[in-house]
Structure 1
């Protein structure tokens, strides 16, 4: 999945009015923080206007610096620069460069990617459950408590889980990361959320001059990392080769961002992944779950939810490299069939490799709505794992018209899931089961799996 942050919804209810607010034009104000909002923000009010505040906690009294104050906007944004009255759930941030308070002391913003690091892990999960439940209620008129599950084997500090990390490079050729919502970058050393194999490369010790971006990927179960370099426009091949030769302990390639193609410089351009005894090949630029435990957690949830049977006809929509297609194909056997649909050409090629020789699987590289619009054969079950924007009304309608016995919905965004769920409910379907997983500790993101059932025949 992408780590892009969804803009908060200005209709989310906020906290109560603040006494004697400081003038907004001063750039700062003292606010009382209300509930958590979708998108990693917390809601406050200032002079009657909603303010989405980052790095806060409900109930806190904080001093904020306004970051967006457009007169025509329905809401403003702000960052906490000082905590006047702290929540009992506020803890020391595990990553100093992403600590908003330390950053404010230095007159800058925090590095993005760990916006919940100031919150105790159990409270992070409680707040995520509240946000998910609020989206269900507001967008799908479903009122149910939501419990957010930690990944099996999660570290007590919630660190060391990212198997993929993307870095910038500063003008001095140093490894860097972007400040939140900014083109500015800051040199970094260790990335605390990443698995040890990412940090063990010690890329911050290298001269990366001529490179604009560095992506690092590590197999979920361990193994040799893959480093992808994105050169600046005028960087010579000789300079790129010099940077590549300075990287030890990893395969290295050059990534073309437009095509997604990877040119091999050293080692191989793909990773070998293994999930519940199934091996996968994933190209360096291909999509794969970020948390080291996410593939196994989600495959287990999907199989338990859909309960595929031998001989059934299934569809895996937005199928990626085949993470779910392979176990579904094994479950239905050669007497059944699986339709795998993926829009990305490179990722679809990964799926073809991972399902080579399984003739009962049809792999189609196309838009999901286009494939469903052409299909006339019935389906027994459908799994969808759409991007952050969700599936949308047209695809939901097409799924409903296919009348499968079950739909499994994997989602990385509670708002788009709740919207799509509303479309299913309007067609008479029901939400039979829901599991939400904290596969992004110290961020506001979460992953979910839902089992949806059609109305009685």
Structure 2
């Protein structure tokens, strides 16, 4: 065939170099759904392992949440850690914690007397979070909806980090959050409109927007990931 190794043209000149095949990503997990449309079971490994610089290794179930952009997880870890600016003795809340990406990164910035309370309600996310946090003594997992969990958290909180769903956190959550009086709130948002609404709600509750970073985490779409930092106005 044209371009095959060792082939030459009719005049004896070297033929074109063989086309390179693109290097495909390694397949880490493959699950097969067996059964009809009304039910079945999954065969094969149903989770993947992600290693994130600055945070550690994470086991994430096939139906769990993880960032789709390959660079998003380490970038968010770096930006959230910078925004949180934790002190060794801080008490931190990580709301909508998922598999614990931010929880574990923040726990690593604390001293032995610091603590992180990670809140997640999705059963699959809670299972992943517990597995990933099992050897981190500074991290406590609360399996509950955020609006309910905020009634059962430490009365003194220094920093709150939240990565709410696309609709945003909303007044019910931000009312309870502001009542705790953290000095800093860091919001990770995948919807600028929802972030704008939450920013207005936080401003009404005494918090000033001090920093905003926008990330192109969803290339060739209109979606933008944001990391916003709010400080309590003294």
Q: Which TM-score applies when normalising by structure 1?
A: 0.44
* Alignment map for 1:224-243 (pairs within 5 Å): 224-230=27-33, 233-234=36-37
Distance 1:428 1:453 in 2: 8
* Alignment map for 1:417-456 (pairs within 5 Å): 417-456=195-234
Aligned to 1:272: 49
The gaps in structure 1 that reach 5 residues or longer are: 1-194, 198-222, 238-253, 255-262
1:414 equivalent to 2:192? Answer yes
Q: How many residues align?
A: 211
Aligned to 1:95: none
- Residue 355 of structure 1 deviates from its aligned partner by 0.8
Report which structure shows greater RCO (CA 8 Å, sep ≥6).
Answer: 2
61, 70, 73: which one aligns with 1:283? 61
3-state SS of the aligned residue for 1:227? coil
Segments of 4+ moved more than 3 angstroms: 227-237
3-state SS of the aligned residue for 1:423? helix
Distance 1:402 1:225 in 2: 42
Aligned to 1:333: 111
Distance 2:79 2:49 in 1: 22
- Residue 361 of structure 1 deviates from its aligned partner by 1.3
3-state SS of the aligned residue for 1:377? coil
Change (3 A) 1:225 1:339: same
Change (3 A) 1:235 1:417: closer
* Alignment map for 1:195-214 (pairs within 5 Å): 196-197=24-25
Aligned to 2:101: 323
Aligned to 1:389: 167
* Alignment map for 1:67-216 (pairs within 5 Å): 196-197=24-25
Q: Which TM-score applies when normalising by structure 2?
A: 0.84
3-state SS of the aligned residue for 1:226? coil
- Residue 228 of structure 1 deviates from its aligned partner by 3.9
3-state SS of the aligned residue for 2:67? coil
The gaps in structure 2 that reach 5 residues or longer are: 1-22
Which string of whole-angstrom CA distances, capped at 9 and with x for unpartnered residues, describes residues 37-76 of structure 1? Answer: xxxxxxxxxxxxxxxxxxxxxxxxxxxxxxxxxxxxxxxx
